[in-house]
Chain A
């Protein structure tokens, strides 16, 4: 069943297991997450009519844990940005308790900010990507949206962990999520990036300061820290993500599935026409930019990779001096749902994309930093693969956050 806000609506969502960790909870996914028999077109005509042959690891694990899969939302083409994404409407409308939204540059966290719920991007490598119709393999992951911290923690503990079908996951042992369920007891220092605060407008800064004050009320110590290369995150993300996207989207050629153009005298024309007719202008621009760096400016790509390694190191070093970093989640004047050009999309995700560049976990806590009813969000970033600690800080803020909730639809 198809509707304005669903790509696929499940007519029999009742799970076979009734006693799992997610029993009784309704989950909405996206059509870039394979669910056997469901349309999995990742929001793109390039995958027109593609029906998943098997469940993604994450989907199978949620089914086994008793989740009711209500359907898949509409999403932006190939999960890049939030244009046309309906996950937050499904949550706000009370039709689901939990939503999974892929997070390539902050989509899950920004979507959470738009529906007054918690939004979490796990560490890169924490959750299997098998069955995810991806675009930027080194940055994307399943993001989790939930009304309560418990929704986030329960979902993560179900979907996280080693999977033989995703050999790119790290060898390290996976953390125990029991620690995440208890609010962090020990003293906790949050670092605020000076370079980040400097680029905010006055009213954004004011809202963010309100949010920081709420963190202090909850017992966190706020400290200003410096990250002189903060502005590199955007350009590094842009170059690396566009190059990876250009490569990954190469498989959408209309040969085995998806839209195939009816015109074309030979296969070169078939490719050109099929791909030309399939992709929307936004994603097409992004793929072109990636192809430009690949084919015409490879040293820029290599440079971006080097810079990325340095940003990862600096970010990890900073987290040696403070327990977590705090950013706003989004900006007032950059609406991610309306962003139409690549530049506007990058403006809208400027504050969330650093965690995708570094692979660190990041949690959006709702309703702490409001400006005239709009939540710009408080976003916490922790050390890679130390997700439980970040979540237990989230638990600590949870009561504060829910006390001040102001729902926005």
Chain B
């Protein structure tokens, strides 16, 4: 392709503070409509905003997690536009003096190399009300739900450093992982607590100019972010090849049709400094205190896992990507289990099982200690992997100990040679033609007979012993 894509992302993240940004209403936009409102977030005459300290702290923590510099002084502006979702004719946002500047995240490129993507700035702003469009008989009506009005957001504005859909998706994934680590935000694209707007333009490969960009909105999954950008790159390429000019406008991604189409843009007015919300002046002590709350970030943690536990790079990345999972992993390792075994079992069995049962490591009955006892039975050959998986599933919904489950379910591994020899002899006797095949050189039959033997033991046979006996008998 002779064109190169230039991509910048603007990401809105809903902070999970207990209250809204400027009043004491609960920050629960999903509650019944207009329940979480007060004179301040309804902007009734006479009410004055007061900035939530918790929201400010969570915003600052998020900025630090993305390697931004908190500005010594930041302030709110009034972003003026008229729309029914905005109860006072302007949105309070930090336009002139954002909370933080100059951050970055590292991502892995398509070719496996690390690329640093810069963040221009992060500012705080309030979310707007939600509009609900309905029909009352044959008349279309619009309803306003102010429960979301005034809930705290941060907007993360990247530099236009991304060059492909892959880089954009990796940027969102990395940023989401780092923000979740801080505990400041849930960051779900599906639930709208993380919203991505992409600015995309094309330029001849090798050029360093910036051409007219097109903004794309409404991607509700990371895959959609990649697909929408890829679609837009193709669309703009066709335009350029046909000699059509690119016009600055906003397009909406349609996840059903998988295309973007132009939308009518909201009129956006100027930003004037707000005289009622005091400027935010960051003191040294305050900043040190917030920095102290910053947990070990996934990149650092991954390096440590590599070093301390001897995990492979892939295992280390898997075990550090989510904070809860990484803490679970380390808690299990502290019980004295071999780290690679723990990582393997978590990735292959635990994580899929939790997903299937709609649980997370945070809310499941399967504590690190119980999981460690299960792994330790495997280590000691008390049970085999087959039984291990069975016990794991039961541990998700039962408060019994792993040992009790093993005993009750008779899942203990059979390592009694006599018992296993009898079993093998019976299988060999029942399948003379297969045994014949094997002896003629068909090695695959070995696996088939092993499967039969394991099944006959109800999955409890010690597979190592079983194989030894079978091999001996066949030869």
A residues lining the B interface (CB < 8 Å): 32, 34, 40, 42, 47, 50, 52-54, 56, 129-134, 137-138, 164-168, 243-244, 246-247, 249-251, 253, 255-257, 267, 271, 294-295, 298, 301, 305
Interface string of B64-89 (1 = CB under 8 A from A): 00000000000000101010100111
- CB-based contact B48/A129 at 8 Å: yes
Assess whether B234 is interfacial by the CB under 8 Å rule. no
Min CB–CB distance B275 → chain A (angstroms): 4
Contact of A244 among B44, B50, B275 (CB under 8 A): B275
Assess whether B441 is interfacial by the CB under 8 Å rule. no
Contact of B269 among A132, A166, A244, A295 (CB under 8 A): A295
In the complex, the chain B residue whose C-beta lies closest to that of A246 is B80
Chain A interface helix/strand/loop/mixed = loop
Q: Give bound CA distance, A32 to B45, whole Å.
A: 9
Counting residue pairs across A and B whose Cβ atoms lie within 8 Å, the total is: 84
Assess whether B39 is interfacial by the CB under 8 Å rule. yes
- CB-based contact B47/A256 at 8 Å: no
- CB-based contact B278/A167 at 8 Å: yes
Contact of A167 among B44, B50, B144, B269 (CB under 8 A): B50
Interface string of B42-61 (1 = CB under 8 A from A): 11111111110000000000
Contact of B87 among A56, A131, A255, A298 (CB under 8 A): A255
Please provide the 10 A-B residue pairs with the shortest distance between their CB atoms, ordered closest to farther: A250-B89, A138-B275, A251-B88, A133-B45, A137-B275, A131-B46, A167-B50, A34-B46, A294-B270, A247-B78
- CB-based contact A56/B46 at 8 Å: yes
Q: Give bound CA distance, A32 to B84, whole Å.
A: 24
Min CB–CB distance A50 → chain B (angstroms): 7
- The CB with the most chain B CB atoms within 10 A, among A53, A56, A244, A247, is that of A247
Q: Give bound CA distance, A249 to B88, whole Å.
A: 8
Give the residues in chain B near A130, CB-CB below 8 Å: 46-48
B residues lining the A interface (CB < 8 Å): 39, 42-51, 78, 80, 82, 84, 87-90, 142, 144, 269-270, 272-273, 275-278
- CB-based contact A255/B144 at 8 Å: yes
Q: Give bound CA distance, A247 to B88, whole Å.
A: 8
Q: Give bound CA distance, A50 to B39, whole Å.
A: 13
- CB-based contact A251/B50 at 8 Å: no
- CB-based contact B48/A165 at 8 Å: yes
In the complex, the chain B residue whose C-beta lies closest to that of A247 is B78
Q: Give bound CA distance, A166 to B44, whole Å.
A: 15
- CB-based contact A133/B46 at 8 Å: yes
Give the residues in chain B near A165, CB-CB below 8 Å: 48, 50
Min CB–CB distance B322 → chain A (angstroms): 37
Contact of A298 among B82, B90, B270 (CB under 8 A): B270
- CB-based contact B84/A267 at 8 Å: yes
Give the residues in chain B near A134, CB-CB below 8 Å: 46
Min CB–CB distance A175 → chain B (angstroms): 20
Give the residues in chain B near A243, CB-CB below 8 Å: 272
The answer to whether A167 and B82 touch (CB under 8 A), given A131-B46, A132-B46, is no
- CB-based contact B90/A247 at 8 Å: yes
Min CB–CB distance A331 → chain B (angstroms): 29
Give the residues in chain B near A294, CB-CB below 8 Å: 80, 269-270, 272
- CB-based contact B46/A255 at 8 Å: no
Give the residues in chain A near B87, CB-CB below 8 Å: 251, 255-256
Q: Give bound CA distance, A166 to B275, whole Å.
A: 12
- CB-based contact B46/A301 at 8 Å: no
Give the residues in chain B near A42, CB-CB below 8 Å: 45
Known: A168-B48, A255-B87. 20 other contacts (CB 8 A): A34-B45, A47-B45, A52-B46, A56-B46, A129-B48, A130-B46, A132-B46, A137-B276, A166-B48, A167-B48, A167-B51, A168-B277, A250-B80, A250-B88, A250-B90, A253-B82, A253-B89, A255-B84, A256-B42, A257-B44
Give the residues in chain A near B142, CB-CB below 8 Å: 267
- The CB with the most chain A CB atoms within 10 A, among B46, B51, B142, B272, is that of B46
In the complex, the chain B residue whose C-beta lies closest to that of A290 is B272
Min CB–CB distance B267 → chain A (angstroms): 10
Q: Give bound CA distance, A246 to B142, whole Å.
A: 26
In the complex, the chain B residue whose C-beta lies closest to that of A168 is B276
Q: Give bound CA distance, A276 to B433, whole Å.
A: 96
Q: Give bound CA distance, A292 to B46, whole Å.
A: 25
- CB-based contact B270/A40 at 8 Å: no
Min CB–CB distance B142 → chain A (angstroms): 7
In the complex, the chain B residue whose C-beta lies closest to that of A171 is B278
Q: Give bound CA distance, A21 to B48, whole Å.
A: 28
Q: Give bound CA distance, A340 to B278, whole Å.
A: 35
Contact of A251 among B49, B84, B89, B273 (CB under 8 A): B89
- CB-based contact A295/B270 at 8 Å: yes
Give the residues in chain B near A52, CB-CB below 8 Å: 46
Contact of B43 among A32, A132, A251 (CB under 8 A): A251
Min CB–CB distance B105 → chain A (angstroms): 34
Contact of A250 among B39, B82, B144, B277 (CB under 8 A): B82
In the complex, the chain A residue whose C-beta lies closest to that of B140 is A266
- CB-based contact B272/A247 at 8 Å: yes
Q: Give bound CA distance, A271 to B82, whole Å.
A: 8
Min CB–CB distance B242 → chain A (angstroms): 35
Q: Give bound CA distance, A337 to B80, whole Å.
A: 32
Give the residues in chain A near B272, CB-CB below 8 Å: 243-244, 247, 294, 301
Q: Give bound CA distance, A180 to B84, whole Å.
A: 49
Min CB–CB distance B75 → chain A (angstroms): 12
Q: Give bound CA distance, A166 to B84, whole Å.
A: 26
- CB-based contact B278/A53 at 8 Å: no
Give the residues in chain A near B90, CB-CB below 8 Å: 247, 250
In the complex, the chain B residue whose C-beta lies closest to that of A78 is B45
Min CB–CB distance B125 → chain A (angstroms): 16
Q: Give bound CA distance, A247 to B76, whole Å.
A: 14
Min CB–CB distance A360 → chain B (angstroms): 17
- CB-based contact B275/A167 at 8 Å: no
**28 A-B pairs, CB-CB below 8 angstroms?**
A40-B45, A40-B46, A42-B45, A47-B45, A52-B46, A54-B39, A129-B276, A130-B46, A132-B46, A134-B46, A165-B48, A166-B48, A167-B50, A167-B278, A168-B275, A168-B276, A168-B277, A168-B278, A247-B89, A250-B89, A251-B89, A255-B84, A255-B87, A256-B44, A267-B84, A271-B82, A294-B80, A301-B272
